[in-house]
């Protein structure tokens, strides 16, 4: 209800800027876009994305470090090298010689820094928990505190590990999410915390549903809601504030 009230307030404040021919449809269309509605529309387009693209929990953790400041295609090459070397696990990475690890993950960029972070994180997890299967059984607050204290584990990396490697119900907010929440008008000035709150109050709490929502947002961000948006064919266009404003400008 708070969301609807805030949307109404915003739309009414800006109502005089809307061309007359759009006034009758603008309000109800924008108001209808909630997190739930977005989830539904994205699911109709993308279905189950099976995001994060990894076969094991260890692979997820490795991917979260490798993906920092690089594209996923570069991460895939590094993951393939680790797989070919038979070292796609935290235990193996912990024992791998630094130079060898750097060579294997070179394609992911910043390879010296990433090799150091990956090795430190792997060894910390192995020495404290033995592995991720044990980590899952520990209290979430304790796990979160431990991970946050590790070098190279920032907010997005932490949330990705919590959700995708450990199955804790934590929504991952990345640049695509902030952009899409802002442009659609779900939130006018979204922050990581406000987006998490909006998703939590939508009732989407199941880890698998949270994983897929984030995956679908990544797909939409790549397919349509890029830096320069490609709104034509976007599954959210009908209810998107930014998409409508583009249409209005082109109709004028």
Q: Which of 63, 190, 215, 243 binds ligand SF4 (CB under 6 A)?
A: 243
With contacts defined by CB under 6 A, name the span among 3-11, 71-79, 112-120, 232-240 that binds ligand SF4. 232-240
CB of 190 to ligand SF4, least distance (A): 13
Size of the site for ligand SF4 (CB under 6 A): 13
Question: Is 30 a residue that touches ligand SF4 (CB under 6 A)?
Answer: no
CA 152, CA 235: separation in Å to the nearest integer? 35
Among 46, 111, 181, 242, binds ligand SF4 (CB under 6 A): 242
Report the residue number, 178 or 234, with the smaller CB distance to ligand SF4: 234
Binding piece for ligand SF4, criterion CB under 6 A, among 28-36, 159-167, 186-194, 231-239? 231-239
Residue 183 binds ligand SF4 (CB under 6 A): yes
The DSSP string of 111-152 is HHHHHHHHHHHHHHHHHHHSSHHHHHTS-HHHHHHHHHTSTT
- Residue 185 in contact with ligand SF4, rule: CB under 6 A: no
Distance of closest approach, residue 69 Cβ to ligand SF4, in angstroms: 24
State yes or no: residue 117 binds ligand SF4 (CB under 6 A): no
Does residue 108 interact with ligand SF4 by CB under 6 A? no
Tokens 């979160």 found at: 144
Query: Does position 190 bind ligand SF4 by CB under 6 A?
Result: no
Q: Segment near ligand SF4 (CB under 6 A), from 62-70, 72-80, 147-155, 176-184?
A: 176-184
> Does the protein bind ligand SF4 through residue 215 (CB under 6 A)?
no
- Judge whether 19 and 25 are in contact, CB under 8 Å: no
Measuring CA to CA, which residue among 184, 188, 113, 179 is closest to residue 152?
Answer: 113
* Contact criterion met (CB below 8 Å) for 69 and 110: yes
Nearest partner of 64 among 155, 169, 133, judged by Cα: 155
Give the helix ranges, DSSP H, for the chain. Answer: 2-13, 20-31, 35-46, 57-66, 72-84, 90-95, 98-104, 111-129, 132-136, 140-148, 155-160, 175-184, 192-201, 207-223, 241-251
What are phi and psi for residue 157, nearest 5 degrees?
Answer: -65, -45
Query: By C-beta, is 184 or 212 nearer to ligand SF4?
Result: 184
Binding site for ligand SF4 (CB under 6 A): 180, 183-184, 224-225, 229, 231, 234, 236-237, 240, 242-243
């Amino acid at each position: 209800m708070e969301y609807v009230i805030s949307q109404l307030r915003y739309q009414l404040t800006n109502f005089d800027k809307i061309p007359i021919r759009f006034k009758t449809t603008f309000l109800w269309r924008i108001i209808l876009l909630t997190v739930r509605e977005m989830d539904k529309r994205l699911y109709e387009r993308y279905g189950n994305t099976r995001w994060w693209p990894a076969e094991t929990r260890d692979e997820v953790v490795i991917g979260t470090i490798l993906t920092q400041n690089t594209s996923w295609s570069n991460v895939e090459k590094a993951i393939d090298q680790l797989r070919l070397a038979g070292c796609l696990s935290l235990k193996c990475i912990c024992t791998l010689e630094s130079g060898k690890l750097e060579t294997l993950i070179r394609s992911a960029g910043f390879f010296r820094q990433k090799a150091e972070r990956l090795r430190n994180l792997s060894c910390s997890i192995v020495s404290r928990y033995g592995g991720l299967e044990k980590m899952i059984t520990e209290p979430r607050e304790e796990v979160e505190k431990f991970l946050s204290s590790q070098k190279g584990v920032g907010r997005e990396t932490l949330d990705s590990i919590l959700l995708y490697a450990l199955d804790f119900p934590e929504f991952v907010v990345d640049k695509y999410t902030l952009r899409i929440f802002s442009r659609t008008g779900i939130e006018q000035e979204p922050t990581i915390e406000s987006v998490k709150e909006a998703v939590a109050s939508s009732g989407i709490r199941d880890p698998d549903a949270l994983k897929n929502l984030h995956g679908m947002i990544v797909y939409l961000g790549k397919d349509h809601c890029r830096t320069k948006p490609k709104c034509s064919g976007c599954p959210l266009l009908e209810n998107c504030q930014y998409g409508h404003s583009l249409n209005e400008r082109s109709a004028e």
